[in-house]
Amino acid sequence: MPAASSNLRAELNGAEREGPEHDARIFGEVTDLFLSNVDRLGDSQIAAVDGVLAHLIERVEAKAVVQLSEALSTIDRAPRQTIRKLAFHENHLLAAPVLRCSNCLVEADLLEIVKSRSQHHLLAISDRKSLNEALTDALMRFGDVNVSNALARNAGARFSECGYATLVGRAERDEVLAEKLGLRLDIPGSLLRELLDRVADVVRARFLTASRPVVREKAKGPVAAAAGQGGAARKAIDYTKAQGEVVALNRTGKLNDSIVNRFAVRGEYPHVVAALALKADVKIEAIEPLLEPDRVYGLIVACKAARLSWSTTTMIVRNRPGCPPSTDRELEQCVAIYESLLLSVAQWTIRFGSDRILAKNNEPAPAAGRR
C-alpha cells in the first residue's frame, strides 16, 4: 500500500497535464484500494488516501463522487478531510450520504452546515440516526416545513423544551406535522395537551387512534399471542360469553366503574373489551386492537368515551395482557389525553377510529405471491 500510494501521488502531480480521464482513473483506483483494504490500513496510509481523494473530488464526474460518498458514509475509519469536503459540498447530492450517516462528522461541522447550506443539506442531516438538542434547535431555526416533518418522524432526534414548543406551534398549521408529532413516544405531557387543544378534530382523531411508529418489544407468552400478536390471533377469542354477561350487567344497572375495574384487576380482558364496546357504543372488533402496546392512546380515548374514571382507566392500561409496563412518560401522556378530552370529543374520536379500524379489517387480503 505505501508504494502504491506513492505511485498514485506521483501520477496525481501530473494530473493537470493528463486531463479528466486520468483524474477519473486515479480516483477510481484509490477508491477501490481504500475500500478493499480499509481494515488493514494504518493512519498514515489513510491520510495518503485522504489527500488524493479530497484533491480530486472537484475534478471528477459527480456520479463517481456520489458513489464515493455513499461508500464512505458507513465507514468509521473513513478519510476525514474527504468526508468533511463531501459534507460541505454545495451539491447536496454529493453531500447527502455522509450527512445522513457518517460518524466522522463532529457536531461543530454539522452546525456550520446547518447555518450555511441548502434546505436539502438540512433535510439530509434531519435523517441522522441520532440528533441532540443543539442540532434539532438549529435545524428548526434554519429549516423549512420539510425539515420540521423529517425531525418529527425521526425517533432518534431529541428536542429541547423550546424545540418541542416550536414544533407544536408549527403543527397548528401543518396537519402532517401534527400527526407525526402526536405519535412521538418522548413528547412531554404538557406539550401533548397543547397539541390536542390546537389541532383540528380530524387530525387529533387520526393520531389518537393510530398505531404508534416506535413500539417497545412485546412480552412473550400465550396471553400475548391471544391479545396482541395480530388479527388472526385476536379473532380466535370468543367474546360471546363475556358479551352476554356484560349486557346482563348493563340491563340491571350494574355495569359500573368498579365492575370494569375488577375485570381489569382479574385479567378478564374479554369482559373489559366487551364493556368498553358497549359503553362507548362501538363494535368489539374496534376495541380489541386497542389492547396492543402501540395503541394505548386509542385505549385511553375508549375509556374516556365509556365514562370510566381515571383510576379504572389506569388499571386497564397497567394490566393489559402481553404488554410491558408503561413508562412514566407514557403514563404522563395518557393523563394528558384523558384530562384534555371532553366526553363528547372522546366519543366522536373513538367512533372515528372505529370506522377506520373496521374498514381496515374488511380490506381484502393481498393475493398470493403479491407484495
What is d(CA 24, CA 42) in angstroms, rounded to the nearest whole number? Answer: 25
Per-residue pLDDT of 319-367, as tens digits, reads: 999 888 889 999 999 999 999 999 999 999 999 988 887 777 666 655 5
Q: For residue 157, what are the β-bridge partners?
A: 131
- The long-range contacts involving 119-123, CB below 8 angstroms and separated by at least 24 positions, are 119/143, 119/144, 119/146, 119/147, 120/92, 120/96, 121/92, 121/95, 121/96, 122/147, 123/147, 123/150
More confident residue, 214 or 259: 259
Rounded to 5 degrees, what are φ and ψ at 157?
-85, 135
What is d(CA 298, CA 58) in angstroms, rounded to the nearest whole number? Answer: 54
Nearest to 272 by CA among 335, 231, 315: 315
The C-alpha cell 479530497 sits at 54
The SS3 of residue 157 is: strand
* Confidence check: pLDDT of 13 > 70: no
What is d(CA 142, CA 156) in angstroms, rounded to the nearest whole number? Answer: 20
Q: Residue 371: pLDDT band by 50, 70, 90 thresholds?
A: very low
CB count in 10 Å sphere of residue 133? 15
What is d(CA 183, CA 72) in angstroms, rounded to the nearest whole number? Answer: 33
The predicted structure's pLDDT at residue 217: 47
* Confidence check: pLDDT of 145 > 60: yes
The model scores a pTM over 0.85:
no
Tell me, what DSSP letter sits at residue 322? T
Q: Residue 227: pLDDT band by 50, 70, 90 thresholds?
A: very low
Per-residue pLDDT of 159-214, as tens digits, reads: 998 999 999 999 999 999 999 999 999 999 999 999 999 999 999 999 999 988 64
More confident residue, 353 or 129: 129
The predicted structure's pLDDT at residue 352: 93
* Confidence check: pLDDT of 215 > 80: no
Total count of residues recorded for the chain: 371
